């Protein structure tokens, strides 16, 4: 049986229309740029999920249900050690103009053979 290990979950909320530009990759969706930076830093795992409906403090709430196809919410989840998550926060600060990040202590269970970062 796999044994749970202490880990840290970083959950980032941005919009589908948010972009990020740099010299190496040009302009791209923000969630893709975050994934690239996380991979470059050899973070342990990342998942990007697109939401159906969502709003935040800066959205116009009166018509959000009618605008489901516009700027949908995107959630980026990264699981790694506390130290690696903490060292990634300044990278995010330079990329995200508006968004929310949540950090949680979690127990992670890895199944299958051990895989080295590649």
pLDDT per position as a tens digit, 19-77: 999 888 889 999 999 999 999 999 999 999 998 877 777 665 555 555 555 678 899 99
pLDDT value of residue 118: 41
pLDDT value of residue 74: 93
CB 96 within 8 A of CB 76: no
Q: Where are the domains of the chain?
A: 5-108
Fold category of 5-108 in CATH: Alpha-Beta Plaits (3.30.70)
């Amino acid at each position: 049986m796999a044994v749970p290990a202490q880990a840290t979950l970083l959950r980032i909320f941005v919009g589908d229309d948010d972009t990020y530009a740099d010299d190496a990759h040009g302009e791209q969706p923000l969630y893709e740029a975050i994934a690239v930076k996380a991979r470059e830093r050899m973070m342990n795992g990342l998942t990007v999920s697109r939401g159906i409906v969502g709003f935040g403090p800066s959205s116009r709430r009166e018509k959000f249900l009618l605008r489901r196809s516009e700027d949908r919410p995107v959630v980026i989840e990264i699981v790694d050690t506390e130290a690696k998550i903490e060292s990634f926060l300044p990278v995010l600060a330079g990329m995200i103009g508006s968004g929310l990040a949540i950090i949680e202590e979690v127990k992670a269970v890895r199944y299958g053979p051990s895989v080295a970062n590649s």
